[in-house]
Amino acid sequence: MTATVLVVGSLHYDIMVETPHLPRRDETAVGSRWYPKFGGKGGNQAVAARRQSVPARMAGAVGDDDFGRLLRAHLQSEGVDADFVSVIAETGSGISVALVDPAGDYAATIVSGANLQIDVAALAAPALWKDIGLLILQNEVPEAVNRAAATEARARGLPVLLNAAPFRPLPADLLANVTHLIVNAVEAEGLGTPPVTSLAAASAAARQLSPLAANVIVTAGAQGLAAASGQETVSVPAENVRTVSSHGAGDAFIGALAAALLRGATLHVAAQTAARAAARHVAGLPAT
């Protein structure tokens, strides 16, 4: 039986707004429609992993409100184990508002809400780790949560995949427990690399960041990605697809990457599989 992916992270009720263009500072753009969407990097990555036909479990927190109930229900409808998603009384669920233009580009603001109240002590519960084969983390929850989860995973000999988004400085004691570090161009530059504007620059950035973790992937959007593992660096050009929306493509990538690694794929093969899944997401196609 395939082991389970555990995602410890964020859950957001997304409000998507379609706009003719992303507004400039002090500008009010007139949008064409809005619609709700399940979100949060943690939730999206758990669903993405499950859609790659591996078991997935989510640990996080929502508020005792309609948004929270909808978020938990969606996880369950996708086949994700939501038993470890806590409901926090008198606290609003996390939300985000995302603006999407006709080219598929987007900008977003999140309000973390209940995500800031994930119980660190609960991450030590043995039941949470039953059958787990890999842990996924992101930066939309407090740093203490990531530290505790990574420490628990490594104590059990499990690989830890950190999607370091959104950017914030990464403490040494967290990185010591990270097996796979995945960053985009913005996050790579935040960690000290030169601008990532090409596939060659992504490869150079991955090599520069390789001391931070055993395996490093730098994604460069429509250019593709580069992966560094030990002395080896490989690049994967992006597939040329028609863009419907890039919103959530990074989460589709992470979920597919984790699923492939869990099945025993090499970093190169897993990165190729994940890039293909992200391209399908951008094109509005099913995960597989």
183 lies in some domain: no
137 lies in some domain: yes
189 lies in some domain: no
Q: How many CB atoms lie within 10 A of CB 25?
A: 4
Print the domain residue range for 38: 4-26+33-178+239-282
- Tens-digit pLDDT string for the chain (288 aa): 679 999 999 999 999 999 999 999 999 999 999 999 999 999 999 999 999 999 999 999 999 999 999 999 999 999 999 999 999 999 999 999 999 899 878 888 889 999 999 999 999 999 999 999 999 999 999 999 999 999 999 999 999 999 999 999 999 999 999 999 999 999 999 999 999 999 999 999 999 999 999 999 999 988 899 999 988 999 999 887 776 766 678 999 999 999 999 999 999 999 999 999 888 887 777 776
**Which residues are CB-neighbours of 44 under 8 A, at least 6 positions away?**
38, 248, 251, 252, 255
d(CA 274, CA 239) in angstroms, rounded, equals 11
- The SS3 call for residue 188 is helix
Q: Is the pTM of this model over 0.75?
A: yes
CATH code for the domain in which residue 264 is found? 3.40.1190.20
When divided into structural domains, the chain yields a total of 1
**Residue 188: C-alpha distances to residues 13, 144, 191, 207 (Å):** 27, 22, 5, 11
166 lies in some domain: yes
192 lies in some domain: no
Which regions of the chain does DSSP assign to beta strands (E)?
Answer: 4-8, 12-18, 33-39, 56-63, 81-88, 94-100, 106-111, 132-138, 160-163, 180-183, 215-219, 224-229, 232-237
d(CA 5, CA 39) in angstroms, rounded, equals 18
Nearest to 86 by CA among 56, 111, 55, 64: 64
- The SS3 call for residue 143 is helix
210 lies in some domain: no
188 lies in some domain: no
12 lies in some domain: yes
